[in-house]
Structure 1
Amino acid sequence: MSVRLNETTTIVDRMVNFFVEHEDLRTKQWFLSNAPGPLFMILGAYLYFCLYAGPRYMRDRKPFELKNTLLVYNAVQVLLSWVLFYEGYKGGWGGHYNFKCQPVTYESDPISMRMARAVWLYYIAKITELLDTVFFVLRKKQRQISFLHLYHHTLMPVCAFIGVKYFAGGHGTLLGFINSFIHIIMYAYYLLSAMGPKVQKYLWWKKYITILQIVQFLIIFVHTLQIQFQPNCNFPKSIAALLTFNAGLFTYMFSAFYVANYKKEAAAQAKLAAKKE
C-alpha cells in the first residue's frame, strides 16, 4: 500500500514540477492568465446559462432577433481572426518556425514576444466565442447546441489557457494559426448569414467550412504526432501527445457531424427527389 502511495506521490510531484518548470513568466501577469480560477468561473457560468438558466428563461418568450448584434459580433470576430492569423504568420509560421520541430522559446526578444502576445489574444478570442452559444440560446436555436458544440467551445479556452500559461510559442501554436484562418471564413459566413434571406440564398458553402475544420485537425494530428519520433526535439512530448489525442478526437467528432448533417441529408433529398419522379 505504501509503495503504491509513494508511486502516486512521485507521479503527482513530477506533474507539479513539470508545470512549475514550464511556467511562462512573460505572460504570468497578463489578463486572465495567472491562474485558471477565473476561466473556470467563466466556463461554469457559460455552461449553467446555456444548459439550464438560458433555456428556462427563454421557455415562454419569443426568440430575440439580435440582427444588429450578430452583424457587429461576427464582423469583430472576422477582424480578430485576421489579426491572429497575421500575427501567427509574422510571429513564427511565416518563415522562421520549423514545421518539423519548434521548441518553445521563453525569451523576451521582439519576435518571441509577438508570438506570446498572439497566443494570449487567441486565448481571449476563445473566451469571446462563448457568445456563439449564448446567442443560440437567446434566439432559441437549441438544435445548434450539440454536444460537439459545447465540448469544442468549453475545451478550446482551457487549451488556450494552458498555451498562454506554459507554452506561449513553439510547435503547438500551429493549431491557433490554422484555426484563425478558418475562423476568418467561418465568421464571414455567419456575418453574411446575419444579413438576412436575400444574402442567405447564396450561402451554399457551409459544409465546406466543416471540411476545412476536419482537414485542420488532420494536419495538427500529424504535425504533433511526429514529435514522438524525434528524440532530439525539445518540445514536450507529453503536451504533443495531448494535442495529438485532442486533434484525433476532434477529427472523429467533426467527421461524424459532417456525415450526420450533410451526407445523410443529401441522401434523404435524393431519395425524396426520386419519389417525386
Structure 2
Amino acid sequence: MEEIVTMYQDFMKKADPRIADYPLMQSPFLVMGILLAYVYFVLSLGPRLMANRKPLNLKKFMVLYNFFLVGLSLYIVYEFLMAGWLTGYTWRCDPVDFSQDPKALRMVSVAWLFVFSKFIELTDTVIFVLRKKNEQVTFLHLFHHSVLPWSWWWGARFGPGGMGSFHAMINSMVHVVMYLYYGLSAAGPAFQKYLWWKKHITAIQLAQFVIVSVHISQYYFMPSCQYQFPIFVHLIWIYGTIFFILFSNFWYQSYTKGKRLPRVAQQAAQHNGSSIHENGTVTNGKVKAN
C-alpha cells in the first residue's frame, strides 16, 4: 500500500502546478466521490425519494438554469478563442504552453472553467429525477455526464490547453445551441414556434464528434508533433468514436424508429405528425407542458 501511495504521489508531481489551487483540482478522489454520489442519486436514491411524491414543478428554475448555461458556454468559447485558438494556435499540433505568459494562464483558467461547468451540468439529470422523468436518464445521458467530467479533470490537471483543448471548445459551442433549445422549451407554449429544430441538435452533436475526431486525427499523420500528451490524443479519438456511435443510435431510435416517443405520441404521429421535446410535448400544433 505504501508503494502504491508513493507511485501516486510521484505521478501527481507531473501535474500542472498552475491549476492546483483551483476548486476541485486538488485531488481526483474528490471529483470521483462527487460523480459516484451523482450516479447513486440518479439511479437509486433520487427515484426512491420521489416514488411517493408528486413531480416537482421546476419550470422557472429550468428557464434560469438553461439560459445561465447558454451564457456560461458562450463565455467559455470566447475564452478558448482568446486564450489561443484565435490568438496564436495553428489549429494543428499545438503544444500546451506551461509558461506564466498571460495567454497561457488564461488558457489554464478556461480549461478549469470548462471542467467546472461539467459538474454544474450534472443538474440536468437531477432535474429529470425530481420531475420524475426517469425515462430520460438513458445510458447515453448518464455515460456522457459522468465520463466527461472525470476525463477532462485529468486533461486540465496535466495539460490545460494545446491540441487537446479543441474538443472542449467545440463541445461548448454545441452546448450554447443545446441549452438555448432547452431554455426555450422550458419557457412554455409561447415559444413553440421556436422549437422546430430539436432534430438538428442531434445532427450538430454528431457533426461535433466528426470535427473533433478529424482534428485530433492529424496527430497520426504528422511526421512530428510537439503536443506533450499523446495519451489524451488517443482518448479524445476513442471518445469521439464512441459518442458518435451512441448518438447515431439515439438518432436512429428517436427519429427513424421513434422508440423514445410515448405510446400516445406515437399513435398521434401516425395520424397527425408530432414531435417530443425535452420539456414539453408538441402534438398537432398545440403544446402540452409536462
Bin for the TM-score computed over the shorter chain: 0.7 to 0.9
Q: Which amino acid aligns with 1:247?
A: G
Please tell me the root mean square deviation across aligned C-alpha atoms, in Å.
2.2
Alpha-carbon distance in 1 for matches of 2:41, 2:202: 26
1:117-196 aligned at under 5 Å gives the runs 117-196=109-188
1:168-247 aligned at under 5 Å gives the runs 168-235=160-227, 236-247=229-240
Alpha-carbon distance in 2 for matches of 1:150, 1:218: 21
Alpha-carbon distance in 1 for matches of 2:93, 2:251: 32
Gap regions ≥5 residues in structure 1: 1-8
Task: Check the 8 A contact 2:77/2:173 in 1, yes or no.
Answer: yes
Task: Check the 8 A contact 2:170/2:212 in 1, yes or no.
Answer: no
1:155 CA displacement:
0.7
Task: Check the 8 A contact 1:228/1:237 in 2, yes or no.
Answer: no
Alpha-carbon distance in 1 for matches of 2:269, 2:192: 25
Task: Check the 8 A contact 1:126/1:160 in 2, yes or no.
Answer: no
Aligned to 1:100: 92
Q: Which amino acid aligns with 1:253?
A: L
Aligned to 2:275: none
Alpha-carbon distance in 1 for matches of 2:271, 2:65: 38
Dislocated runs of 4+, deviation >4 Å: 19-22, 268-271
Alpha-carbon distance in 2 for matches of 1:46, 1:104: 31
1:35 CA displacement:
1.1
Residue 257 of structure 2 aligns to a residue in which SS?
A: helix
TM-score (norm 2): 0.84
1:60 CA displacement:
1.4
1:74 aligned residue (56, 66, 73): 66
User: 59-68 or 197-206: which moved more?
Assistant: 197-206
Alpha-carbon distance in 1 for matches of 2:98, 2:112: 14
Task: Check the 8 A contact 1:75/1:191 in 2, yes or no.
Answer: yes
Alpha-carbon distance in 1 for matches of 2:109, 2:87: 18
1:220 CA displacement:
1.0
Alpha-carbon distance in 2 for matches of 1:186, 1:271: 24
Aligned to 1:272: 270
Counterparts in 2 of 1:240 and 1:22: CA distance versus 1, 3 Å = farther
Count the aligned residue pairs: 260
Q: What's the % identity of the aligned pairs? A: 41
Deviations 1:123-146 (A, max 9, x none): 000000000000000001111110
Gap regions ≥5 residues in structure 2: 260-265, 273-290
Deviations 1:210-232 (A, max 9, x none): 11111111111111122122242
Aligned to 1:65: 57
1:89 aligned residue (70, 81, 100): 81
Deviations 1:147-185 (A, max 9, x none): 000000001101220122001010011111111111111
Aligned to 2:245: 252
